[in-house]
Structure 1
Amino acid sequence: MKNIIGIYTSPRGHWVGDGFPVRTLFSYDTMGKHISPFLLLDHAGPADFTPTDKRRGVGQHPHRGFETVTIVY
């Protein structure tokens, strides 16, 4: 049987670019000694945006080019 290494709560949400709010459930900063390969898990829940002509999104990003997997439930 595997041991539980910790119980973690999500910190306050933060914005990724100006495109969407997320909550980071775990990241390399918090779990880097315990997970391999490099892995992030963010939750991007429903969000309401007022209509605008301004483009939203993420430009240059620290992990641009990494493989992204989206789980929709």
Structure 2
Amino acid sequence: MTPFLKLFAALYPFGAGAMGVNLFFASLIGSWVGWPVLTPWQAAAGGMLIGLPATWAFACHIVRLMKKAETP
């Protein structure tokens, strides 16, 4: 397993959790204009889906910073 995939696997639970919380609170704000409020289970499922590209982008950013720090 490459170091990038290890980093991605380690960060994914945090990214999915953060996206789930953000999605839930966004649905609460959306209720002000008549949109339905998501259940916590729906928000968690959406966070697992939305968390994939967000965590991928963050892991790419961290790997770039690690490579930059290693170059003299």
- Give the TM-score of the pair, scaled to structure 2: 0.27
Higher helix share: 2
RCO comparison, higher one (Cα < 8 Å, 6+): 2
Bigger radius of gyration: 2
- Give the TM-score of the pair, scaled to structure 1: 0.27
Higher strand share: 1
